Amino acid sequence: MSERPRKPQTFKLGDPGVIVMDADETGRPSRGTVRITPESDPALLPVPVEAPLLPARRGFPWGTVFWSAVGGLVLLGLGLSVTHLIEDLFARSEGLGFLGLGFASAAALALAIVVAREALGLARLATIEKLHLRAAEVLVSDDRAESRGIVQDLIKLAHQNPHLARARAALQGHAGDIIDGADMIRLAERELMTPLDQEARRLVSSAAQRVSIVTAVSPRALVDVLFVFVASLRLIRQLALLYGGRPGALGMFRLLRHVVAHVAITGGMAASDSLIQQVLGHGIAAKLSQRLGEGVLNGLLTARLGLAAIDVTRPLPFTALPRPVLADLAKDLLRKRDGED
């Protein structure tokens, strides 16, 4: 027989007839008393914490040793060849020897400058990556001191951009305010990243439209592949320069590897079902020929790579500002295509 539901009752604090008992207690209260079982507070419940992934143990870097040794041998061989060449030139004529020595000195100086520029470019890219990771950690930990350090590093990174002078002054004015760490990162993102994100979206949209037009009228598939590759490299370099990076040849190789890895992790090159529905919704299949359709898809591929490059080269994660999505760029591309038709 089920118990009858009790009517609502009121009790005074300290009433001896009210007994507070836990749910796991088995004792029965005495007659005439009221038993109250408090419910557990959700805020006090244990939160499951995932076990941290232990980094995989790496062995001795034999590959690095091999390529370093091969590079050293190649440099020694080139130096020895140049030395023999200069000695032969001096043996033939003193003037030719000094001329060869001058060429060798100029080549050595240019090589040293190129190596220094590549090293500085790699160091700057590493600084941007560390800023991105530090900002993501501050958004979780809400560390005020660390957020101030990140803002100062961002100001140093953007000091050569004249369009960010007002944003830098505004951030420096808020440096002494009582602002939480996560809010300071969001403020820095709104002040510094807003004009850069707008320019980045314009660059990606322009590159996608350019690729779409060129690949639609090109007669060869090889020309399409080469143009898409060159346009993608140019777009990645422009985005890196926009956000404060100065990549050289090695820096571009590193950025390209990170962009391709980011694209592979975040869903690959294939267009999503919603994007295909947008394309079909614009009547693109009925209005455009096969070549024009291929041009649109090549433009979408370039836009996808551009969005991945933004995520890789941007010194702050997207929190206060909306992340640009492929659907918006696809609408711009299709609107441009409809206008041309």
Radius of gyration of the chain (CA): 32
299 contacts 208 by C-beta, under 8 angstroms: yes
Average of pLDDT values for 34-51?
A: 54
Of 116-125, 217-226, 319-328, give the range with the top mean pLDDT: 116-125
Write the Ramachandran bin of 43: left for phi over 0, alpha for psi from -120 to 50, otherwise beta: alpha
pLDDT, residue 340, reads: 53
pLDDT, residue 25, reads: 65
> Between these two residues, 56 and 103, which has the higher pLDDT value?
103
Burial (CB count within 10 angstroms: exposed 0-12, middle 13-18, buried 19+), residue 56: exposed
pLDDT in tens, 281-307: 444 444 445 556 677 777 888 888 888
> Beta strand pairing status for 34-36 and 18-20?
parallel
pLDDT, residue 34, reads: 67
Helix (H, G, I), strand (E, B) or coil at 125: helix
Selection from 161, 152, 119, 159 nearest residue 134 by Cα: 152
Say whether pLDDT at 45 is over 90.
no
184 contacts 153 by C-beta, under 8 angstroms: no
313 contacts 128 by C-beta, under 8 angstroms: yes
Say whether pLDDT at 69 is over 70.
yes
324 contacts 197 by C-beta, under 8 angstroms: yes
Say whether pLDDT at 54 is over 50.
no
19 contacts 34 by C-beta, under 8 angstroms: yes
pTM: 0.68
Say whether pLDDT at 168 is over 90.
no
Say whether pLDDT at 113 is over 90.
yes
